Amino acid sequence: MPSALNVPKMMNKSKNPAEISSAALAYLGDSVIEIRVREFLVSCGLSHAADLNAAALDFVRASAQSDAVENILPILTEGEAAAFRRGRNIGHTNTPKSATALQYRRATGMEALFGYLRLTGQEERADELFSFAYADIMKKYKGDQNVKSED
């Protein structure tokens, strides 16, 4: 029986990430960060959808991503920093009300960085940077199943 969707399992890794638009890198990176957040929160024992969604906001809000990127900027390689800058410099026309233009640009840069890491097969480096970026927030959830998001 033929598959309903003919979707490739993985993008061809021979494609140079420099040839991919910054917006596409950020689009992919958004999901890369999101899956790491979800895996982390589930591993902390959160099990109710409302708690998981509220906790995830501590990680994925533009303001949180902007703060998190500050933790990793000093340890980025030249290629990683270039990917971040490409994403940060996308010409945004819409900024969410919950973030400043600077926060939103930095968050987009972080997403582009994680998209770049995914496309270059650097999953371990993405895990490392995620842990450094969100170390303070992760402490809040580790070992405490009853922690609620601050909002």
Q: Which residue has the tokens 């920093």?
A: 81
Residues sharing a CB contact under 8 Å with residue 116, sequence separation 6 or more, in sequence order: 17, 25, 29, 79, 80, 83
CA distances from 117 to 26, 39, 46 (A): 11, 18, 28
Active-site residue (options: 30, 51, 136, 144): 30
The 3-class secondary structure across 30-64, one letter per residue, is HHHHHHHHHHHHHHCCCCCHHHHHHHHHHHHCHHH
User: 118 is written with which tokens?
Assistant: 């995914």
| Residue 136 annotated in active site | no
Q: Catalytic residue positions?
A: 30
